[in-house]
Structure 1
Amino acid sequence: MEIKPHVLVNAVPPYGHVIANEKWRDSALVQSLKGTGNVKTIFEEELGMVDFHLSNKSCILYVSETDIVAGNNYKRKLVRFRNANSSLQGIVVAEKTRLSEQYFPAMQKFVVIELGLTLLPVASQLEASQLLTQMVHMEGKDNPFRKKSVSRLLDPVVMSLVQQIPGVGKVKAVALLQHYSSVIQLCNAETCELETIVGQATAQSIHNFFQKPFF
């Protein structure tokens, strides 16, 4: 059952609910959410750049396969999303499909490294609805494993990104992420600090990777 109160942009939905931008009302993603019966949807026209707002003060921007393949226009949208929601945790959910896969690494670097946002790939709106349902039910205040569960959800994405750095395999990626809690911290790390973790050659490789322009 849909709930349609007047919702302020900065309002926090109750546990088990998600505020969705009105444009998603008839989408496959929202229809799938309704089908689960576990997540109630509140529709709101005044969410600005936000597509979905969760009760743990995180907000989601959805980037479709078409947006990614079309070119760099989505970058301006992402920057506006980041700037407009500085008080919230910004999460970008993007469609990684056969068509968009070749463009995904560049987008990943832009979203995670340059903007400092979390990027979660999905294959379709159906998979996105499953992810959204999982995230909503990780928000319970009485769940002592909430933070740990969220980190398990995001780790594969971050691991994949870090392993794109030349000379960094799975073992070194794990070592780096045990020391640095985010890619942003890794990006800002001094070479001498990195040397103590991965050695001189790889430390220099990491430094060069983050210093060079991506586009």
Structure 2
Amino acid sequence: MEIKPPVLVNAVPPYGHVIAHEKWRDSVLVQSLKGTGNVKTIFEEELGVVDFHLSNKSCILYVSETDIVAGNNYKRKLVRFRNANSSLQGIVVVEKTRLSEQYFPAMQKFVVFELGLTLLPVASQLEASQLLTQIVHGESKDNPFRRKSVSRLLDPLVMSLVQQIPGVGKVKARALLQHFCSIHQLCSAETHELEPIVGQATAQSISNFFHNPLV
């Protein structure tokens, strides 16, 4: 039996286009993209675990409300992508609804802290299509503000995520993000590196947070 690769590395569409897995052809997400006319969709059956490839060498791995409630299948999908050592940047788009909200904190910790991937929540496929359009055009080579536009998408989420650590409020979260260049650096920081920024008690709390098993 042939084992399919987790990522089709050479799938890089032209600017303003996305390559979508064939399974998305009749979805609300793709139909919404077609409706705007701002993003052209190319369909491909062999994308491995990836749902959408973007022109900036990044890709979308979509986790539906059903996926997150069902359990560990989505985790295997994301781990396969991360372990592929692809040159592509992985962006995990997850449906955060009333049904899946209770599972979101554990998923957030797994995706961002454990795997080092970017996580963006959406309420529906319609909102996901709007987000995808914004990323595609925000990352266009003709847009001189492309990096700022993506940062604006991510900053509120990252701040919110760091504030979930016990003892870390808005002020301490901002101080940590100003000191550490990435969430991965924050995860790897030793207690003595954290103490000058947030104090001994909070530094220990952060260390415990990252070393405790997922719930």
- For this structure pair, what is the TM-score category when the shorter chain's length is used for normalisation? over 0.9
TM (norm. structure 1) is: 0.93
Q: Are residues 85 and 21 of structure 1, via their aligned partners in 2, closer, same or farther at CA, if it must alter by over 3 Å?
A: farther
Q: Distance in 2 between matches of 1:193 and 1:142?
A: 40
Unaligned residue ranges in structure 2 (runs of 5+): 1-7
Confirm or deny: 8 A CA contact 2:16 2:38 kept in the other structure. yes
Q: Does 1:41 align with 2:41?
A: yes
Confirm or deny: 8 A CA contact 2:113 2:184 kept in the other structure. yes
Q: What one-letter code is carried by the residue in structure 2 that aligns with 1:149?
A: S
| Equivalent position of 1:129 in the other structure | 129
1:84 to partner: Cα distance? 3.0
| Equivalent position of 2:178 in the other structure | 178
Q: Which stretch shows the higher mean deviation, 205-214 or 20-29?
A: 205-214
Q: Which stretch shows the higher mean deviation, 196-205 or 76-85?
A: 76-85
Unaligned residue ranges in structure 1 (runs of 5+): 1-7
TM (norm. structure 2) is: 0.93
Cα distance per residue 1:58-108 (max 9 Å; x no partner):
011100000111122221111112223521100100000000000000111
| Equivalent position of 1:84 in the other structure | 84
| Equivalent position of 2:105 in the other structure | 105
Q: Distance in 2 between matches of 1:93 and 1:182?
A: 19
Query: Secondary structure of 2:31's match?
Result: helix
Q: Which stretch shows the higher mean deviation, 131-140 or 73-82?
A: 73-82
1:9 to partner: Cα distance? 4.7
| Equivalent position of 1:5 in the other structure | none
Q: Give the paired residue count.
A: 208
Q: Percent identity?
A: 89
1:11 to partner: Cα distance? 2.9
Structure 1 residue runs of 4+, over 3 Å off?
Answer: none
Q: What one-letter code is carried by the residue in structure 1 that aligns with 2:198?
A: V
Query: Secondary structure of 2:41's match?
Result: strand
Q: Does 1:207 align with 2:211?
A: no
Q: Over aligned residue pairs, what C-alpha RMSD do you find?
A: 1.2
Q: Distance in 2 between matches of 1:11 and 1:111?
A: 23
1:135 to partner: Cα distance? 0.2
1:188 to partner: Cα distance? 0.4
Q: Distance in 1 between matches of 2:112 and 2:122?
A: 16
Q: What one-letter code is carried by the residue in structure 1 that aligns with 2:22?
A: E
